[in-house]
Structure 1
Amino acid sequence: MLIREAKDRLEQMLANIDVVEGSNTVSLGAVMKAFQSFAAVSASDCAPVDEDGDGILAQFGTYGLRGTQEFSVNLSRQFIETGDDGSIWQLSCTFYWDPTPDTTALGSGSLWSFDTSPEDFFRDAALLAGWKWALGTNQRPISLDVTFDMA
C-alpha cells in the first residue's frame, strides 16, 4: 500500500465490520480490531519503522477541537514519507461523546506504538483509562470521524 491509498484501505476494512444491532453505531471493539489489521499492512513509501516512519497512536481526552467540549478516543496511524524532507501524514479514527463528570475525571492520555509489538500496543491501548471507559460504556458516541491529514 502507498500512503496516499491508506484512507481508502482503512475505509474498506471498516466497511466490513459489524454494526451494533439495531443501530447505525459501529462497535468500538470492532473498530479497534479493524485498525489493528490495518496497522499490519505495510506502507511501501514511508520511512522505516526503526526511524519512526510508521507508528500508531492511541489517545483520549476532553477537548474543544470541533467548537464545543467533547470527550473523544482516537486511534491514529502516522506515516512519514521517505527522504530527508518527508511529509508527516496522520490517518485517524475518532469517536466523540458529550462530556460527563466521569469522562472529564479521566483526564487525558496517549500511547505510541514505537518500540513495542502490535499485540502489546493494542492490549495496552485498550487499558488506557479513556479507552477502557469507551470500550465498556453503553453510551453511544455522537459520531465516528475518519480523517487523513498532513500533520
Structure 2
Amino acid sequence: MPNRPRLEEALDFLRAELASGQSETTERTTRGAWLAFMRFGRRRFDTAPTPDSDGLLFQYGTYAFSGRPMFTVDLTRQFDVTDDDGEHDHYVQVHCELRYEPEPDLDALGSFDSWFFHDADAGLDEWFAAMEGRLAQLLDRRPSEIDLYEEPV
C-alpha cells in the first residue's frame, strides 16, 4: 500500500506515540499509554490485503512472566508476515505491556482478552471504547513497569 509505513517500523511508531506529550518530569499513566496505543492502532501499516493481516489485541490478567506475579495489561498489535508468494509465513507482535503490583482489586478483575482486526471487523472506535471501559479503574494509575517489545510468533 502506498504511503503506509513498513511493518519493520511499527515498534518505532509505538515508541514515538508513547513518548509524545511526555516530559522528563511527567509520570506515565495507564491513560497516557492507552491513548498512545489508540493512536498507534489507528495508523495503518503496509500489510497484506487479507482480513487477519493487522490485528489489535487487548488482554490482562495476573501473571508471573518476569518471575513474580504482576497484574499485566498487554496492548498488542499483530501483523501477518507473508513470503514472496504472498502466503502466510509468520506473525509479528508489537507489545506495550503495563505491569502493576498485585492488589486484591486488580486480582478480582480476573483475566480478559479481545481482538480487533482491521479490514475484518467494523467499529474500531466502539472496540476502543469497550476496551477503555475495561481499563476504567487503572486509567489514572501509574504502572510499576512499561515494556515495549516486538516478537515473532
TM-score, normalised to structure 1, is 0.85
**Paired-residue identity, %:** 31
Q: 1:141 aligns with which of 134, 139, 143?
A: 143
In 2, the alpha carbon distance for the partners of 1:4 and 1:125 equals 26
1:91 touches 1:146 (CA, 8 Å); kept in 2? yes
Q: Indicate the SS of the match to 1:113.
A: strand
Aligned residue in 2 for 1:53:
53
Letter in 2 for 1:53: S
Structure 1, unmatched stretches of 5+, are none
Structure 2, unmatched stretches of 5+, are none
Q: CA RMSD in A?
A: 1.8
Q: Which structure is higher in helix share?
A: 1
2:62 touches 2:70 (CA, 8 Å); kept in 1? yes
List per-residue Cα deviations over 1:76-123 (Å, max 9, x = no partner): 000001332322011011111111111111100011113232211110
Tell me how far 1:39 sits from its aligned partner: 1.6
- Structure 2 matches for 1:1-151, cutoff 5 A? 1-18=5-22, 24-44=26-46, 46-48=47-49, 50=51, 52-82=52-82, 83-114=86-117, 115-128=121-134, 131-136=135-140, 138=141, 140-151=142-153
2:80 touches 2:88 (CA, 8 Å); kept in 1? no
Whose relative contact order is higher, 1 or 2, with alpha carbons under 8 Å and at least 6 apart?
2
In 2, the alpha carbon distance for the partners of 1:95 and 1:48 equals 31
